């Protein structure tokens, strides 16, 4: 799919990804973290003529998401200035192509432990703070320093400011992991240092209330997925099925055979339904998503969204068994305020995903006069636009089992 949004919106996980690793199934995968920055207090920050510029440092807190090689390894990141202005009102996707300048503003190497990051990610009560800090070039810093002026509309008006300072891209140079950074954390900022006599001072620039997103690429040309090179087009890779967050690979489910069978029975009550995916391929390096879910597809393989009156009718017809996910506003199978009906949790002990979509299947039967055959099986946890977790399983190991009672009416 080409509609996987990676830009950060209010109310969801704030994360940008950077790094790279080589996946034997999905190919080399790289992420670049892209963000705007803006003055925190543009109207009250005044630098006196006697002051002197010192340096500027990019700082961003790791949120401990990591994917790739295990162990502690060295990651090297470069920072580049954007050559293209970003629009606050636009969504940005994993394949949004944004130009960056050719010259690096700064570089830094850090040692990242896969095990430590995993431990901190799982420990939700932790207050550990680990930040990526990269000193940027003095020429860029001086230009930013010279722009600080509370009486200059080019500085105080963000629309004008971002035309001159378009943003930054954190690009991996040497890397075997993809890591997550939180641009909206209080420990994340672009810090301009200067001194006035013996007084050391700073001007803070924030990534909040600005565009931030991840650009994610995978080179599948030397893998079994080499033929998967067009969006929204069915591709049969053979005996296996694949799902990958970040690069937006989904497995499509076709419920046509379900409808064919249900056309042969009448007046049924679904007692229970199970949708199982077994024999999931295991890997100590490339862990499977903790949860999968379904999103409704149209016949052209586009996600069903609210664009027409008919879309609204379709949504209401499911009577609460569907709600709208924020990811591109497509239909996802969840119950508002409860656990998602169409969530498939992963069991590492069984190497399987198991879901119990009883109410969902009953609704498909009740509405069988209007077919809903096509669904996308996609990552739910972690969010696909904020992760690159992936999974592989045999195509003949996904099964829908339905247990039902048939009512006899009018001597039928």
The DSSP code sequence of 362-379 is HHHHHTTTS---EEEEEE
Name the pTM for this structure: 0.90
Nearest to 375 by CA among 298, 271, 310, 314: 298
Retrieve residue 4's tokens.
């996987």
To which residue do tokens 């076709």 refer? 254
pLDDT of residue 290: 93
Cβ atoms of residues 399 and 312 within 8 Å: no
Cβ atoms of residues 344 and 290 within 8 Å: no
The Cα 90–Cα 92 span in angstroms is: 6
Give the pLDDT of the chain (412 residues) as one tens digit per residue.
Answer: 888 899 998 878 899 999 999 999 999 999 999 999 999 999 999 999 999 999 999 999 999 999 999 999 999 999 999 999 999 999 999 999 999 999 999 999 999 999 999 999 988 776 789 999 999 999 999 999 999 999 999 999 999 999 999 999 999 999 999 999 999 999 999 999 999 999 999 999 999 999 999 999 999 999 999 999 999 999 999 999 999 999 999 999 999 999 999 999 888 899 999 999 999 998 888 989 999 988 888 889 987 776 667 666 776 666 555 555 544 345 544 444 444 446 788 998 999 999 888 888 888 888 888 888 999 898 988 888 999 999 999 999 999 999 999 877 665 5
Retrieve residue 336's tokens.
């508002």
Which letter does DSSP use for residue 397 in this model?
A: G
Cβ atoms of residues 116 and 122 within 8 Å: no
Nearest to 346 by CA among 278, 398, 284: 278
Give the number of residues written for the chain: 412
CA–CA–CA angle 95, 74, 221 (5° rounding): 35
pLDDT of residue 246: 93
Residue 394: what are its φ and ψ, rounded to 5°? -65, 140
The Cα 25–Cα 251 span in angstroms is: 15
Nearest to 36 by CA among 212, 234, 186, 170: 212
Domain boundaries, the chain: 16-218, 240-406
Cis before 382? omega within 30: yes
Retrieve residue 96's tokens.
């949004």
Q: Beta strands 291-296 and 374-381: pairing type?
A: antiparallel
Cβ atoms of residues 235 and 242 within 8 Å: no
pLDDT of residue 36: 98
400: which strand partners? 275
Nearest to 103 by CA among 184, 168, 183, 40: 168
């Amino acid at each position: 799919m080409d509609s996987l949004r990676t830009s950060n919106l209010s109310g969801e996980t704030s994360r940008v990804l950077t790094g790279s690793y080589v996946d034997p199934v999905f190919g080399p995968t790289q992420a670049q973290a892209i963000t705007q920055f803006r003055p925190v207090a543009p109207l009250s920050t005044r630098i006196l003529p006697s002051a002197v510029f010192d340096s500027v440092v990019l700082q961003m807190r790791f949120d401990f998401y990591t994917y790739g090689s295990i162990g502690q390894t060295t990651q090297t990141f470069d920072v580049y200035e954007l050559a293209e202005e970003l629009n606050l009102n636009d969504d940005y996707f994993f394949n949004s192509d944004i130009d960056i300048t050719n010259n690096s503003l700064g570089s830094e190497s850090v040692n990242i432990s896969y095990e430590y990051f995993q431990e901190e990610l799982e420990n939700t009560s932790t207050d550990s703070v680990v930040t990526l800090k990269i000193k940027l070039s003095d020429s860029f810093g001086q230009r930013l320093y010279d722009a600080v002026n509370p009486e200059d509309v080019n500085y105080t008006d963000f629309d004008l400011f971002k035309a001159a300072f378009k943003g930054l891209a954190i690009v991996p140079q040497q890397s075997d992991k993809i890591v997550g950074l939180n641009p909206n954390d209080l420990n994340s900022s672009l810090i301009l240092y200067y001194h006035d006599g013996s007084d050391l001072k700073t001007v803070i620039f924030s990534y909040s209330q600005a565009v931030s997103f991840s650009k994610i690429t995978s080179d599948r040309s030397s893998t079994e997925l080499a033929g998967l090179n067009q969006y929204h087009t069915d591709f049969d890779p053979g005996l296996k099925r694949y799902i990958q967050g970040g690069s937006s690979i989904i497995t499509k489910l076709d419920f046509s055979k379900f409808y064919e069978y249900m056309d042969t029975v009448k007046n049924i009550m679904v007692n229970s339904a199970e949708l199982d995916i077994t024999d999931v391929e295991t890997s100590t390096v490339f862990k499977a998503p903790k949860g999968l879910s379904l999103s409704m597809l149209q016949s052209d393989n586009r996600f069903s969204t609210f664009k027409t009156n008919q879309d609204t009718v379709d949504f209401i017809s499911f009577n609460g068994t569907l709600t709208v996910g924020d990811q591109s506003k497509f239909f996802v199978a969840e119950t508002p305020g409860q656990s998602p009906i169409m969530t498939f949790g992963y069991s590492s002990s069984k190497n399987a995903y198991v879901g119990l979509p009883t109410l969902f299947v009953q609704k498909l039967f009740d509405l069988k006069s209007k077919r809903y055959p096509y669904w996308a099986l996609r990552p739910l946890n972690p969010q696909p636009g904020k992760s690159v977790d992936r999974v592989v399983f045999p195509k003949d190991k996904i099964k829908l089992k339905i247990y039902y009672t048939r009512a006899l009416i009018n001597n039928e």
